[in-house]
Amino acid sequence: MNFKERFVTAINHKEADRVPIMGLIVDTATSCKVLGKQPANILDLLKEEGPKDDLLAMLNTPEVWNQTYIDIVSDNLEAAAKLGYDANWAIYTLLQLHEDKSTKVGFVWHDPYGRVWEISEDNNGNSIINYAGGLCGTKEKWRAKMEENKALFEVLPDYAREFHCALQQRFGDRIYPVGYAAPGVFENSWQPMGFAEFTSLLYQDADFAREIIAFHTEHYLRHMDAVLDAGAEVVLGGDDLGQKTGPMLRPAMIEEFFGESYRKVAARVHERGAKLIWHSCGNINALLELFVDWGFDGIITMEPTAQMDVAQVRQQVGHNLALIGNLDVSHLLVKGTREEVEQAVEQAIAGAAEGGGFVLSAAHSHSLIDPQRLQWMVEAGKKYGKYPLVR
């Protein structure tokens, strides 16, 4: 059985030869360590003396961006394959560099949805980007931004399609790059405005909130189509719907505003004969029934630091959802002992892998995750994950 058959079999709730193992992004710092590569830092270019017009023009040419971006994600996939994973996330993004004197670096990235991403450096000297707020704090600003980027929204699905096809071609014989349409409709709705601002809209101007959600749903369906065009049997979608102690919004409110949108996305994926796995950080125990109802086929992450427990989730949803997770990234995969890692893997498998429907994974990625611990996770996954499971 190869990596792809193993992964797809598990998602279909059948027992493969063993529990598959999947990467959740695999951060650039971790990838560099695995591949023995030097950190890559765009800040070096930006800090050089002299005018930046040429650099900006070059990086903001979609062809240059797309090529550079494919190479970055290829490193993540390369590292994931080297770690022995069966699959890894593959997310397409389009960013454009803008001068912004108010930031430390003097430049920020903008995405087409109206987010601002600041540039900084991780603990290993890689440049990283972080969502730092939005450009669409008011109705007028939101409408103007969507109008301004109209042409971009037209071509984005094409870029995404090319990206996913290129990765399938590069990695199709070594690891399964699972296409992920991101960001999701919830995040695209609130992040370009701010959470407080968007929440106020839900109460004070529900019609406009619905206009935003409908706009992003339409675009998201096209994005998802592009991912599916690359020939995927399983696709990823996602939105952080949870925080440390529970859902970001009252579940009934999520259903009221976003239920229809999520149902449409799941239906589209199913029409095309594929399965939809949903990523959300935080505590989402109170949303599990909704996920099933919307038609999601699985969930990925189940953050232990937010009291998510795979065995408990399995008990709650049975085999209505495939479960992908959930090794802790706050301690375990940073400085846990080998025994601790093994024990966590053994426990997760014992709690959720009977009858298939389980894929082993870290609960997120960040720059301090240690490749050695990931290696231990893979080894333990192979040891405890052989089917039939030993009880």
Partner 1 sequence: MAHDLKEKLKEALLDLNNDATLDYVQQFLAADEMTAKQAVDSIAEALEIVGRRFQEGDWFLGELVYAGTIAKEAMDVLTPALTADDARANCGTVVVGTIEGDMHDLGKSIFINYARSAGFDVIDLGVDVPAETFLEAVNEHEPLAVGMCCLLTPAAGGVGRVVELITERDLRARTKIIIGGAAMTQAFADEIGADAYAPDAVTGTDIIRGWVG
Binding residues (CB under 8 A) for partner 1: these are: 118, 120, 122-123, 130-132, 195-196, 199-200, 202-204, 243-251, 253, 305-306, 329-331, 334, 366-368
146 versus 182: smaller Cβ distance to ligand B12: 182
Q: Considering the complex, what minimum distance in angstroms separates the CB of residue 191 from partner 1?
A: 11
Q: Considering the complex, what minimum distance in angstroms separates the CB of residue 188 from ligand B12?
A: 11
Q: Considering the complex, what minimum distance in angstroms separates the CB of residue 245 from partner 1?
A: 7
Q: For residue 223, what are the CA distances in angstroms to 213, 245, 326? A: 15, 31, 27
Contact range with ligand B12 by CB under 6 A, out of 45-53, 137-145, 359-367, 374-382: 359-367
Distance CA 241, CA 282 (A): 7
Q: Considering the complex, what minimum distance in angstroms separates the CB of residue 50 from ligand B12?
A: 29
From the list ligand B12, partner 1, none, pick the one residue 237 interacts with, judged by a Cβ distance below 5 to 8 Å according to partner type: none
Residue listed under structure tokens 């094409």: 158
Region 20-49 residues binding ligand B12, contact defined as CB under 6 A: 25, 27
CB 327 within 8 A of CB 19: no
Binding of ligand B12 by 342 (CB under 6 A): no
C-alpha of 149 from chain center = 23
Q: Are strands 127-134 and 115-121 parallel, antiparallel or unpaired?
A: antiparallel
Distance CA 211, CA 205 (A): 10
Q: Considering the complex, what minimum distance in angstroms separates the CB of residue 249 from partner 1?
A: 4
Phi-psi region of 84 (alpha: psi -120 to 50; beta: other; left: phi over 0): left
Q: Considering the complex, what minimum distance in angstroms separates the CB of residue 10 from ligand B12?
A: 21
Distance CA 195, CA 168 (A): 36
Q: Tell which one of 306, 317, 332, 374 touches ligand B12 (CB under 6 A).
A: 306
Question: Which residues lie across from 128 on neighbouring strands?
Answer: 120
What is the distance between the terminal CA atoms of the chain, rounded to a whole angstrom?
A: 23
Distance CA 259, CA 65 (A): 34
Binding of ligand B12 by 316 (CB under 6 A): no
Cα torsion at 295, 364, 178, 276 (round to 10°)?
Answer: 0
Region 102-141 residues binding ligand B12, contact defined as CB under 6 A: 130-131
C-alpha of 272 from chain center = 21
Q: Tell which one of 47, 98, 104, 244 touches ligand B12 (CB under 6 A).
A: 244
Q: Considering the complex, what minimum distance in angstroms separates the CB of residue 145 from partner 1?
A: 21
Local structure of 299: helix, strand or coil: strand
Binding of ligand B12 by 305 (CB under 6 A): yes
Region 255-284 residues binding ligand B12, contact defined as CB under 6 A: 281-282
Contact range with ligand B12 by CB under 6 A, out of 205-213, 264-272, 291-299, 358-366: 358-366
Contact range with ligand B12 by CB under 6 A, out of 164-172, 198-206, 239-247, 267-275: 239-247
Binding of ligand B12 by 313 (CB under 6 A): no
Residues 6+ apart with CB under 8 A from 316: 285, 288
Binding of ligand B12 by 366 (CB under 6 A): yes
Local structure of 265: helix, strand or coil: helix
Q: Considering the complex, what minimum distance in angstroms separates the CB of residue 198 from partner 1?
A: 9
359 versus 363: smaller Cβ distance to ligand B12: 363
Distance CA 341, CA 188 (A): 35
Q: Considering the complex, what minimum distance in angstroms separates the CB of residue 125 from ligand B12?
A: 16
From the list partner 1, ligand B12, none, pick the one residue 301 interacts with, judged by a Cβ distance below 5 to 8 Å according to partner type: ligand B12
H/E stretch holding 269: helix 251-271
Distance CA 308, CA 388 (A): 26
Q: Tell which one of 15, 111, 303, 309 touches ligand B12 (CB under 6 A).
A: 303
Residues in contact with ligand B12 by CB under 6 A are 25, 27, 130-131, 240, 243-244, 281-282, 301, 303, 305-306, 329-330, 363-366
